[in-house]
Structure 1
Amino acid sequence: GRYLVGQVTAMRSEIFNTSLSAEGRAVLLYHVERMNEESANALLKVMEEPPEGVLFLLTADSLAGVLPTIRSRCISFAVAPVSPADCARYCTAQGVDSKDAALYSELFDGHIGTVLDAARDEARRAQVDKALALAKAAAAQDSYAAAVLLAAYEKDKVGAAALLADFRAVAAAGLRGSPRAPVQGDAARKAIAAADAAIQRLGAQVNPKITLSVLAMKFRTF
C-alpha cells in the first residue's frame, strides 16, 4: 500500500554497498505516487547524488501525485494501454481463453496486466462476474437484486471497494460503447458517479452497510 522510509533507506544501502556489474544496475520502483513525504524525501536524496551506473525507473498512476522535486530529476513518458483488440490477441497468445480475453480486454480497456489477473485468478474472475451482475441490475433499475448482491460485503470494506472498482470499470466500458457491458449510455454515466461516491464514502470510514444500501437505492434512478 505505502512505501516506508526504511524500504528506501535499505534500497540506498544496497545500491551503494553492492558492487555493480559491467552493465550497471537498474532500480525499478512501482507507484511512487504512494510515497509519503518522508519516504519521497529519502528517495530524493538518493537521486540527487546517485552512484555511478545506476538507472532509476519509476512508475506512477498519476504524475501529479509524485513529488515535484523528484519529477524534475526524471524524464517522463506517458504510457497508454493498447487497444482492446491488441490486448485480446496478446492475452490469447499467453494462454487465456479467447472469449475471456475479448471480454476482459473490453471491460478493462486494454490494460494487459489487469486482464491477465482477471483471467488467471479464480477469485478475481468471480469478482468480475459479480461486477457484471451488478451492472445488469443497474441497467434493469433493479435495486433489490443490487441490494442482495451487495449484502455480502456489508462487513467487508476492502472487498466492497474492490467490487465497486470493477463495477465502475464495467460501467466505463459501457460508456465507451462496448456491447459486452450490460449498462450503457446515461445509465453507465450515473453508475460511474454512484460507484465513485460509494468508494469515496468507504474510504472516509463511513459504515459500509449504509454506503452499500444507499448505492442499491440509487439503482432505481438509472
Structure 2
Amino acid sequence: MLDRLAGNTALKAELGAALRTGRLPHAVLLVGEAGCGAGFAARCLAADYLYPQGGPHAEAVLKGEDTECLVLQGEGASGQIPVKRVREMREAIQHSALSTDAAGRVLFIYGAQNLNGSSANAMLKIIEEPPEGVLFLLTATSAATVLPTIRSRCAAYTIAPVPADECAALLKDRGLPGPLAEELAFVYEGHIGTALRAFQDAGTRTTLAQAKELCGYAAQNDTYRALALLTKYERDREGFLSLLWQLDQVCSAVLRRPVYGTRQCGGLTPAAAAIILRAGAEMRRHVMANGNLRLAVALLAARIA
C-alpha cells in the first residue's frame, strides 16, 4: 500500500525495507505540512504492517474502517487530545483480543502536536511499555511542535510535497480536468491532499474562489465590493481564517508566477499581492489574539483595496 503514496520514493523504500526485515520501530512519527499526505501515509504503512498480503482488510485500513486500528486526534474548540481519551485507548489496546486475520494492531495519533502535558505523559506510558504487536503511528505538521518526551521515543520520517507536474498528473488521474489540475497543483505547490480537497469539498472551492475574487477587487481598488464580500465573515471566525489562508496561497502563486495574477486574479500584480499578504498576516494575528472580528474584516478591505 505504500506504493500508493505519491512521490517520496526514498521514504517508501526505507519503510518498505524495514517492514520486510521486521525492523520497523514500534513508534513512527510521520511529519508533513497539512495536505502533504502524512495521514494517508500512516494508513498505507498500517495496512502493510497489519495485512502484508493486501486484500479487503488492507483496503479497509486505507478507508479508516478496519477494527484493528484505533484513532486518537484533537477534540473540541482547543483541538487538543484529552488525557481521558489516551487512557481509554490504553485500556482498549491492553484488554482486547487481536483478530486472527491481522499481524498486530495500530494506534494512530493524528496531530501529535496536540498532545498536552497530561495526555503526553499518559501516552508515554504506553509507548515505553508497548503491548506485543502494537504499532504506534503519529503524524504532526512539524517535529518541533511535538513534545520532546514523545518525539524522542519515535523514529521520525518526513513526508514531502510532490513536484507540481507530478501532482497535476495525479490529480488528472483522480478525475480533475487538465487545466484545473495544473492550477491547483501550482497554487498548492504539490500538496496533493490540499488540492484534492479544493476540488472535492464545496466549502473549500467556494473559499478559494472568493480569495481570487477578492484579489480582483484589490487589483481594481474596489473597496466597496471587497467589503461586501468580506462582510459575510463578520461572525465567522473560522471561515475568515480559512479565507486568509487561501489568500496566502493565491498571493504566493502570483509572486511566483505573475501571469497567474493577470489570468486568474483580475489583474493582481506581485506588488499588490505582497500588500495583501502583509495585511492578511496582520489580520490573522489580530483574530488569533481574540480581536474584534468585524474590525478585522473592515480593516482588511481597506488595506488591500
Is this a same-fold pair by TM over 0.5?
Answer: yes
Tell whether the 8 Å contact from 1:142 to 1:219 is kept in structure 2 after alignment.
no
Partner of 1:197: 282
1:154 aligns with one of 227, 234, 254:
234
Instruction: Sort the Cα spacing of 1:83 and 1:184 in 2 relative to 1 into closer, same or farther, 3 A.
Output: farther
Q: Displacement, 1:30?
A: 1.1
Normalising by structure 1, we get a TM-score of: 0.90
Query: Deviations 1:86-126 (Å, cap 9, x if unpaired)?
Result: 11111111122222222222111111111111101222211
Aligned to 2:301: 216
Structure 1 residue 178 displacement after superposition: 6.3
> Which whole-Å CA distance do the structure 1 matches of 2:136 and 2:168 have between them?
31
Partner of 1:27: 107
Counterpart CA distance in 2 for 1:178 and 1:125 is 22
**5+ unaligned residues in a row in structure 1: which ranges?**
none
Q: Distance in 1 between matches of 2:125 and 2:258?
A: 46
What amino acid sits opposite 1:149 in the alignment?
Answer: L
| Larger RCO (CA under 8 A, 6+ residues apart) | 2
Report the equivalent of 1:63. Answer: 143
**Identity rate, percent:** 39
CA 179–4 in structure 1, closer or farther in 2 if over 3 Å, else same: farther
Counterpart of 2:207 in structure 1 is 127
Q: Which has the higher helix share?
A: 1
Aligned-partner residue type, residue 120 of structure 2: A
Q: Aligned partners of 2:80, 2:211: CA distance in 1, in Å?
A: 27
RMSD (Å), alpha carbons: 1.8
Secondary structure in structure 2 of the residue aligned to 1:59:
strand
Matched, 1:74 2:159: no
Query: Amino acid of the residue matched to residue 4 of structure 1?
Result: P
Between Structure 1 and Structure 2, how many residues are aligned? 220
Give 1:104's aligned residue: 184
1:151 maps to a residue whose letter is: T
Aligned to 2:273: 188
SS of the residue corresponding to residue 147 of structure 1 reads: helix
Deviation at 1:54, TM superposition (A): 1.2
Structure 2: distance between partners of 1:144 and 1:197: 21
Most deviating of 163-172 and 33-42? 33-42
Q: Which residue of 2 aligns with 1:51?
A: 131
Show CA shifts across 1:165-207 (max 9, x none).
1111111222222643434534333322221221221121111
130-139 vs 82-91, which deviates more? 130-139
Q: Which amino acid aligns with 2:90?
A: R
Matching residue of 2:163:
83
What SS is found at the alignment partner of 1:214? Answer: helix
- Could you say which residue in structure 1 is the equivalent of 2:92? 14
CA contact (8 A) 2:199 2:205 kept: yes
Name the amino acid aligned to 1:135: C
- Structure 1 distance, partners of 2:204, 2:97, is 41
